[in-house]
Structure 1
Amino acid sequence: MLLQLAISTAMVILTVIIHGLGLSLLAKMVRIEFHEERVRHVPPLSRRSLFFTLALVLGLFLLHGIEIWLYAFFFVAVGAVATLETAVYFSTISYAGIGYDDRYIEPAWRLVSAIEGINGLLLLGWSTAFFVTLVTRLGR
């Protein structure tokens, strides 16, 4: 159990660092776009604004995808899950807090998947707060 807690802690730290760096990059892109929209007097409901908002959402999806795949690769590497496809599926439902069941994972690694669920919910919440704050600031 201590090994699983240590690994979970390391995974949480790694994904939080990745998430923070990713949100910082997205925030920088938003600042640049906001400046461009002000200079060019782009209305909030323009095609450009729509595409930028879509790109922001896709950036958030990419960020979460990276974190989900990190857990999936870990589960395959330790033999907790049989295939990469199953690992990605299992990691996705764990990360998103859906967690249908744990029949796909070896019992010794269930604690890591449970903590992945808590980690994922926090990171999804962080992304939601980030997105709502930016969209509100941009007046969209």
Structure 2
Amino acid sequence: MTPENLFISQHHQLIWGTIVLSVCAIIHVGFLAIMVEALAKMGDWVERRTRFMRTALLTGAAFAMIVSSHTIQVWLWAYVLIHMGAFDYLYNALYFSLVTYTTVGYGDVVLPVEFRVFGAFGGVTGILCFGISTAFLVSLISRLLPRSIE
């Protein structure tokens, strides 16, 4: 690969990495917005339940939505990696996407050199979305916990 092609390749990786990261952010924020509405609607129904049930149902629903959002994002990264030609097999793409998104990064499956900048965006996406998820759950639990203790 010539230096000119490498520059163009890196430029495209930055653009496509930014696009996929942005789509994932939209998905995640969308799931959180839907979750706020769903939790508000569940609020009246769970208010008549025991403290344990209220806490378990609301936290469980939020957790399920967050896990669903992260799962969709990992699948999206895997699909894009296959579409771009970085992997031939879905298993490898999913495994790499999950390990990168969670920032575990075992290193047993690596991207070809020409996709590494793009692949790093998967880790950035995971860090940002896990941060938002953590903040959301902390906020939810901090609102539920005092009510559960009373």
Normalising by the residue count of structure 2, what TM-score does the alignment of the two structures yield? 0.84
Q: Aligned pair count?
A: 137
Residues in 1 aligned to 2:19 and 2:11: alpha-carbon distance in whole angstroms:
12
Residues in 1 aligned to 2:97 and 2:36: alpha-carbon distance in whole angstroms:
27
Contact kept? 2:81, 2:87, Cα under 8 Å: yes
Query: For 1:22-48, what per-residue CA distance to the aligned partner results, in whole angstroms no more than 9, with x for missing partners?
Result: 10011111111223233x2x23212x5
Contact kept? 1:102, 1:110, Cα under 8 Å: no
Residues in 1 aligned to 2:22 and 2:36: alpha-carbon distance in whole angstroms:
21
Task: Compute the displacement of 1:102 (Å).
Answer: 6.7
Q: Which residue of 2 aligns with 1:44?
A: 51
> Are 1:29 and 2:38 counterparts?
yes
Contact kept? 1:44, 1:138, Cα under 8 Å: no
Task: Compute the displacement of 1:55 (Å).
Answer: 2.8
Task: Compute the displacement of 1:124 (Å).
Answer: 0.5
Task: Compute the displacement of 1:125 (Å).
Answer: 0.8
Residues in 2 aligned to 1:57 and 1:79: alpha-carbon distance in whole angstroms:
33
Q: Which residue of 2 aligns with 1:115?
A: 121
Q: Which residue of 2 aligns with 1:8?
A: 17
Amino acid of the structure 2 residue aligned with 1:27 = V
Give the match's secondary structure for 2:52: coil
Q: Which residue of 2 aligns with 1:132?
A: 138
Uncovered stretches (5+) of structure 2, i.e. residues with no partner: 1-9
Superposition CA RMSD, Å: 1.6
Contact kept? 2:74, 2:98, Cα under 8 Å: yes
Superposed, which structure 2 residues align to 1:14-93 within 5 Å?
Answer: 14-38=23-47, 40=48, 42-46=49-53, 49-93=55-99
Task: Compute the displacement of 1:106 (Å).
Answer: 1.7
Query: For 1:80-117, what per-residue CA distance to the aligned partner results, in whole angstroms no more than 9, with x for missing partners?
Result: 01211110000001001111127432211111111210
Change (3 A) 1:58 1:20: same
Residues in 1 aligned to 2:109 and 2:62: alpha-carbon distance in whole angstroms:
35
Residues in 2 aligned to 1:17 and 1:94: alpha-carbon distance in whole angstroms:
19
Larger Rg: 2
Residues in 2 aligned to 1:77 and 1:33: alpha-carbon distance in whole angstroms:
40
